[in-house]
Amino acid sequence: MDLPPLYRAPDVAGRTVRQIVYPTLSGRAARIHLSNEYGKTPLTIEDLRIARSAGGAAAVANDGARVTFGGKSTVSIPAGGELDSDPVTVDIAEGAPYAISAFMGPDQRIVAWHRVSSQVNYVSAPGNHAADASAEAFRGRFTQYVWVTGLSVEAAPSSAAIAAIGDSITDGMRSSLNQNHRWPDALARRLAGSSDRSTAIVNLGISGNRLLSDSPCYGDALAKRFEHDVLGRPGVKTAILLIGINDINFASMPARNGLDCDFPHTSVTAADLIAGYQRVIAAARHAGVKVFGATLTPASLPAQRESIRLAVNQWIRTSRAFDGVVDFDAALRDPAQPDRLRRNFDSGDHIHPSDAGYAAMADTVPLDAVVNSTRK
């Protein structure tokens, strides 16, 4: 895969990158998962620490713990590789912010990132500031995630995870910065307010992602990455699948000279998408993972593309192919114009929900059915 040029990527060589994450399960130890999947050279981290965030780039003083790999504080991950840290003893509270700080090697560059984080992260002045509680050194800011692709909390054997997997709507595109208003965040808050405290929510949305086609910018097709991202993730028992609107839409996007993030401009039918869903369902069943299918939300599509969306949604609702259905379309559509988002649920681009729309999505998830599916 050719990587997009990251013109705005900050200089991280010999600096400390501090990223803010919000675990959705409590525990007393954790592992950090690092990925260099799309790297061209080794990923070198000379010091990695985790501490409770004190807001912004600050960390709670005397709260941090060093993270090691095979007992060593320095790690080098080859191009294309990924690695879990040793377990680190640290009190993890679900919903609380944690700062993961990585002092990078002297030649390290960012060549790939998770483009839409809806979260401000930080880069320091030159030097190792991983143990700093103060925000003083962290003057650089960026709104992507790099290298850290998971925080696995060691919890009770009865604990489980629900994976929300999809495109920019699951990724939280156009939700408020630093507010955790993506629909999986709101679903995690619903869980936290219930009697269930042993189920985590994992957000595996990638903006621009498609079910059937790889992209030079938006990652592997979901039908391809599902095995690694969901079935290969510890503790995942159930997935909520929302994908397909980009497959329908990208065929009409104009081709661009040079890097074309929307390539290939492949036209799809409802039958194509249904066949893709069936492949995902079959892989999940083979692994013992339940899958809830989510209906595609309104996107103000022209008639021909809208007919595909409607046919796909009809199949999701009536085929009984999935273990359950989450009707996001019904939750968000304008009753007077069902091909459009309700005005108060529209972020303004007529595709991505507003914060209120994302909250409505979380509220429409059949929580008891989804949680119970993780116990079977």
Query: DSSP secondary structure string, 65-86?
Result: EEE-BTTBS-EEE-TT-EEEPP
Alpha helices by DSSP H, listed for the chain, are 168-171, 183-192, 222-226, 245-249, 270-287, 303-318, 328-332, 355-364, 367-373
Among the listed residues 269, 279, 215, 271, the one whose alpha carbon sits nearest the alpha carbon of residue 241: 279
Cis peptide upstream of residue 264 (ω within 30 degrees of 0): yes
Could you tell me the residue range of the domain that residue 145 belongs to? 15-150
Helix, strand, coil content of the chain in percent (nearest 5): 25, 30, 45
Whether residue 18 is predicted with pLDDT greater than 60 in this model: the reply is yes
Amino acid (one-letter) located at 172: G
**Domain final position from 150, 183, 207:** 150
- Domain-embedded: residue 182: yes
- Domain-embedded: residue 10: no
> What CA–CA distance (Å, rounded) separates 41 from 303?
47
**Domain final position from 150, 165, 188:** 150
Is the same domain home to 43 and 133? yes
What average pLDDT does the segment 67-82 reach?
98
Is the same domain home to 106 and 166? no
What average pLDDT does the segment 148-155 reach?
95
Total domains, the chain: 2
Whether residue 262 is predicted with pLDDT greater than 90 in this model: the reply is no
Mean pLDDT is lowest, of 28-32, 193-197, 228-232, 234-238, for 193-197
* pLDDT level of residue 197 (50, 70, 90 thresholds): confident
- Domain-embedded: residue 316: yes
Give the pLDDT score at 8.
78
Is the same domain home to 97 and 50? yes
Give the pLDDT score at 2.
42
> What CA–CA distance (Å, rounded) separates 50 from 358?
29
What average pLDDT does the segment 14-22 reach?
99
Is the same domain home to 223 and 304? yes
Is the same domain home to 137 and 182? no
> What CA–CA distance (Å, rounded) separates 117 from 122?
13
- Domain-embedded: residue 276: yes
- Domain-embedded: residue 327: yes
> What CA–CA distance (Å, rounded) separates 355 from 345?
7
Tokens of 26: 């409590």
Is the same domain home to 64 and 166? no
What average pLDDT does the segment 265-274 reach?
96
Mean confidence (pLDDT) of the chain: 96
* pLDDT level of residue 5 (50, 70, 90 thresholds): low
What average pLDDT does the segment 339-365 reach?
98
Among the listed residues 69, 78, 80, the one whose alpha carbon sits nearest the alpha carbon of residue 31: 69
Among the listed residues 142, 151, 183, the one whose alpha carbon sits nearest the alpha carbon of residue 363: 183
3-state secondary structure of 18: strand
Whether residue 1 is predicted with pLDDT greater than 70 in this model: the reply is no
Whether residue 196 is predicted with pLDDT greater than 90 in this model: the reply is no
Residue 289: which CATH number?
A: 3.40.50.1110
The tens digit of pLDDT for each residue in 86-140 reads 999 999 999 999 999 999 999 999 999 999 999 999 999 999 999 999 999 999 9
Give the pLDDT score at 7.
56
- Domain-embedded: residue 346: yes
Percent above pLDDT 70 for the chain:
98
Give the start-end residues of each E strand in 11-120: 15-21, 27-35, 43-55, 58-59, 65-67, 75-77, 82-84, 88-92, 98-104
